[in-house]
Structure 1
Amino acid sequence: MHPEGPDTSALPVIAVVGPTGSGKSDLGVELALALDGEVINADALQFYRGMDIGTAKITMDERKGVRHHLLDTLDVTGEASVAGFQVECRRTIQDIHARGKRAIMVGGSGLYVRAALDVLEFPGTDPVIRQRLEAECAATGLSPLRARLEVVDPVSAARLGDARRVIRALEVHELTGRPFSSFMPQREYFQPAIQVGLSVDRDVLRDRLADRVHRMVEAGLLDEVGRLDAAGLRQGKTASRALGYAQFLKVLDGQAAIPEAAEETIVATRQFARRQLTWFRADPRIHWLDWQDPALVAKAAALTKAA
């Protein structure tokens, strides 16, 4: 039995996924208008208040009156939590469906999408155990910890490379008695769902992402980063590393010029888009549609109605 219980309305959750810059936000709005739905944000960086320009957060005008959920829920000093998102997103889905609307999740943060849609447990944490393991790693190096992990969880030992993840896997085993690998998600929906993926022309997307970064700069990205810096951006583990924000903090520090920071952001964004495509392409349940198809909205709506 799932702890929160699947939604009893049996309406499939709709998820619009794909790489950054592929038009997910616009499709989410159009589907909501066509299906009498509401949108749930599943982009981890759009949880942060004030991170608007650099995340291409959908504006009030672009929302066309469609209600959006889980936007602007965190200060930049906060840390996004996949486990917390799972709870809030499923609660929001239930609320939307209880009101007879369609829940349409939109985002490119793959693990967050999986957490909301799939059967996925999150083991707890124990700061005492973690601090002890971190101290041991600092004193003796990673090799003894990795050797211990190979004994208790060979699957994770083969997958995980960096110290933070090895320590996390050992922490989970010590805390739960189960191997960390046993918590990995299976492709099993928590409740009825349909995923619509936006299939992109990679060359066109490369140019589009470059143009988008330049538009962000023109729209005042540096000023936005400056405002958020004053609000504690550097103290936020997640927000401070966000695409564009990390690069433009260097401009504020005199370590880079705006054109250099823009180019670094373009390169990093293209790399991120490739990783997103790799992640989503691995899921055979996604229905892929051409992002530039004039009939995109009608085809996506037909998919969801057939589910």
Structure 2
Amino acid sequence: MSFPSEERPQPVIAVVGPTGSGKSDLGVQLALALNGEVVNADALQFYRGMDVGTAKITEEERKGVPHHLLDTLDVTEEASVADFQKDCRAVINDIHSRGKRAILVGGSGLYVRAALDVLEFPGTNPNLRQQLEEECKSKGLASLRARLEEVDPVSAARLGDARRVVRALEVYGLTGRPFSSFMPQREYFQPALQIGLGVDREQLRERLALRVHRMVEAGLQQEVERLDAVGLRSGKTASRALGYAQFLKVLDGKLTEDAAVEETIVATRQFARRQLTWFRADPRITWLDWQDPELVTKAVGAAAT
């Protein structure tokens, strides 16, 4: 998208990278330095009450910087990237209209792309989705994958789990277009700068293990118990979150606390690897060392160029 120079909006600054790399802290520091406000792009931090297990930034840690799109959903609701795109762009426009800088912070790759890139989202049809889900249960995933192979071989080769295969068939049934045709191009919707936090992978592995142990000490199991009482299990997105899924098994007597901790650590490390793979594939990201003493100064400098 191009703008006449006199109408060109301030670039959105996005802080991206794997979980545990310090994105939230850098977002606050950038906002303080650039008269900005933070916009959350972490899908699990939309959920009210999911604080300990998502390492949600506290009021004290926000240092007075306004934060948007935190605590917008109940755990029973399903996060929608299409809804996020609409809400996020409205918030960014509002921030910029007040002469401030929008600082997008998050590690949910598709949500970051939805906020920043030219990206179209097809609609949904609950009845069609239910039919496909029932077919998957009765005939098996292989049957649905075979159907997807016929109409969208690109998606069939790329998608593995039942939820995504069902979604791809739903989109084809609604639009007559293959799901793969809706995949984003690397084209910004409006001017943007992405700052990625480059990590030492072994140090990150150690940090993530320590982080999970600290979450448990801070009351993760008690948080899961509270959320279970208000419908956590019925939430398709929230119930599968790292730590929450494992500690629901503790409540059910299927895992010990120690086993849940280890399972969460393994899953978190795997998630961080997937995040790194996702973000490393985007050549537009400016990478900075997460432990550089000059990190904030360099990030501010990148935002000013």
Q: CA separation in 1, counterparts of 2:13 and 2:224?
A: 33
Post-superposition offset of 1:146 = 3.6
Aligned identity (percent) is 79
Cα-to-partner distance string for 1:214-241 (whole Å, 9 max, x where unaligned): 1111111111111111111111111111
Alignment of 1:24-173 (within 5 A): 24-173=23-172
Q: CA separation in 1, counterparts of 2:224 and 2:161?
A: 30
Q: CA separation in 1, counterparts of 2:162 and 2:74?
A: 28
Change (3 A) 1:276 1:126: same
Select between 168-177 and 295-304 the one with higher mean Cα deviation. 168-177
Change (3 A) 1:270 1:251: same
Which amino acid is the alignment partner of residue 49 of structure 2? G
Which amino acid is the alignment partner of residue 84 of structure 1? D
Q: What residue is the counterpart of 1:243 in the other structure?
A: 242
Change (3 A) 1:75 1:181: same
Q: CA separation in 1, counterparts of 2:131 and 2:259?
A: 41
Q: What residue is the counterpart of 2:280 in the other structure?
A: 281
Change (3 A) 1:164 1:283: same
Select between 134-143 and 267-276 the one with higher mean Cα deviation. 134-143
Count of equivalent residues? 301
Unaligned 5+ runs, structure 2: none
Q: CA separation in 1, counterparts of 2:35 and 2:241?
A: 33
Change (3 A) 1:229 1:281: same
TM-score, length of structure 2 as denominator length: 0.93
Change (3 A) 1:256 1:174: closer
Superposed CA RMSD in Å reads: 1.8
Select between 204-213 and 84-93 the one with higher mean Cα deviation. 204-213
Tell me, what secondary structure is at the counterpart of 1:54? Answer: coil
Cα-to-partner distance string for 1:119-160 (whole Å, 9 max, x where unaligned): 111111223333344444455445554444333322223223
TM-score, length of structure 1 as denominator length: 0.93
- Give the 4+ runs in structure 1 shifted more than 6 A: none
Cα-to-partner distance string for 1:23-72 (whole Å, 9 max, x where unaligned): 00000000000000000001111111111111110000100000000001
Change (3 A) 1:138 1:239: closer
